[in-house]
């Protein structure tokens, strides 16, 4: 491990500013574009010029492709991807900024330990305040998928409407699913009470977005 990892907050800010400066140059933009997949390029308008016009800077492009990522995290992840910034130093820098480490297993363990609302898609697990809620979802997927949808919408700063669920969903589908989620015995009311009506047939899950983490495995 390098000696930089032992640095403090002041050193972290200096490193962060240096990466920010590097990411502002045209070489970084061209390098990122070469590393993107065809599907990622399509999402950005199929040309670097269009992507920069729409989003303004590389961090915004990265956040568009990875909607759960904050701008400070985008800087660090881009530094790893474009400048071969060592992952141990990246994890140090992320932690100094209050972010989770890059490694998914380490990030999941840290998120659970600090009490975040953590969802794991593979086994449909829900962790909160450091505990596995051991939710029995039964054989159906509807309520689990609705909770994931609600969390994703919160991360994106969006409200949940019937159109979030599908073009052919009924008008009362959001209200009905919130009601059913509140009936799941393992999910505390302190979580389900975070659903608040914000408009006609529309609700918002008001749990802090920065404390929601969703992992695939």
Chain segment 43-92, per-residue pLDDT in tens:
999 999 999 999 999 999 999 998 788 999 999 999 999 999 999 999 99
- Round to whole Å and give the CA distance between 34 and 22: 17
Tell me: do 98 and 112 sit in the same domain: no
The model carries a pTM of 0.82
Q: Please give the average per-residue pLDDT across 116-126, as a whole number.
A: 97
Tell me: do 137 and 75 sit in the same domain: no
Nearest to 93 by CA among 23, 21, 16: 16
Final residue of a structural domain among 75, 102, 129: 102
Q: pLDDT category, 4, cuts 50, 70, 90?
A: very low
Tell me: do 118 and 208 sit in the same domain: yes
- Round to whole Å and give the CA distance between 203 and 128: 22
Q: In sequence order, what are the residues at sequence separation of 6 or more whose Cβ sits closer than 8 angstroms to the Cβ of residue 61?
A: 32, 44, 51, 52, 55
Final residue of a structural domain among 51, 81, 102: 102
Tell me: do 96 and 124 sit in the same domain: no
Tell me: do 126 and 96 sit in the same domain: no
Tell me: do 112 and 185 sit in the same domain: yes
Mean confidence (pLDDT) of the chain: 93
H or E stretch at 197: strand 195-199
Tell me: do 89 and 134 sit in the same domain: no
* Angle, CA of 153, 155 and 158, to the nearest 5°: 40
**Domain hosting residue 76, numbered range:** 3-102
Tell me: do 115 and 211 sit in the same domain: yes
- Round to whole Å and give the CA distance between 79 and 186: 41
- Exposed, middle or buried by CB within 10 Å (0-12, 13-18, 19+), for 126? buried
Alpha helix stretches (DSSP H) within the chain: 9-23, 26-35, 38-43, 48-55, 58-65, 71-83, 87-96, 104-113, 142-156, 162-165, 173-182, 189-192
Tell me: do 146 and 87 sit in the same domain: no
Tell me: do 202 and 112 sit in the same domain: yes
Tell me: do 49 and 76 sit in the same domain: yes
Question: How many domains does one find in the chain?
Answer: 2
CATH number of the structural domain spanning residue 164? 1.10.10
With beta carbons less than 8 A apart as the criterion, state whether 56 and 24 touch: no
- What are the DSSP calls for 95-127, one per residue? HHTTPPPSSHHHHHHHHHHTT-EEEETTTTEEE
Final residue of a structural domain among 45, 70, 102: 102
- Round to whole Å and give the CA distance between 145 and 107: 22
Write the DSSP symbol of residue 67.
Answer: T
Read off the pLDDT of residues 159-185 as tens digits, 9 standing for 90 and up.
999 999 988 889 899 999 999 999 999
Nearest to 142 by CA among 176, 172, 117: 176
Tell me: do 59 and 29 sit in the same domain: yes
The yes-or-no verdict on residue 2 having pLDDT over 90 is no
């Amino acid at each position: 491990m390098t000696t930089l990892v032992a640095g403090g907050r002041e050193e972290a800010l200096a490193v962060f500013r240096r990466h920010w400066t590097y990411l502002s140059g045209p070489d970084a933009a061209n390098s990122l574009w070469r590393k993107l997949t065809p599907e990622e390029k399509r999402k950005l308008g199929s040309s670097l010029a269009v992507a920069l016009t729409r989003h303004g800077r590389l961090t915004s492009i990265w956040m568009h492709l990875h909607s759960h990522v904050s701008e400070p995290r985008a800087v660090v992840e881009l530094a790893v991807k474009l400048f071969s910034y060592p992952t141990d130093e990246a994890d140090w820098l992320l932690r100094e900024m209050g972010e989770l480490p890059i490694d998914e297993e380490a990030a999941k363990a840290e998120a659970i330990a600090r009490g975040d609302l953590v969802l794991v898609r593979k086994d449909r697990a829900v962790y909160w305040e450091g505990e596995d809620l051991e939710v029995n979802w039964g054989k159906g997927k509807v309520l689990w998928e609705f909770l994931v949808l609600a969390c994703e919408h919160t991360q994106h700063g969006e409200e949940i409407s019937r159109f979030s669920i599908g073009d052919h969903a009924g008008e009362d589908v959001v209200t009905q699913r919130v009601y059913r989620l509140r009936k799941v015995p393992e999910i505390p009311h302190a979580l389900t009470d975070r659903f608040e009506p914000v408009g006609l047939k529309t609700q918002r899950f008001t749990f802090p977005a920065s404390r929601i983490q969703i992992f695939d495995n």
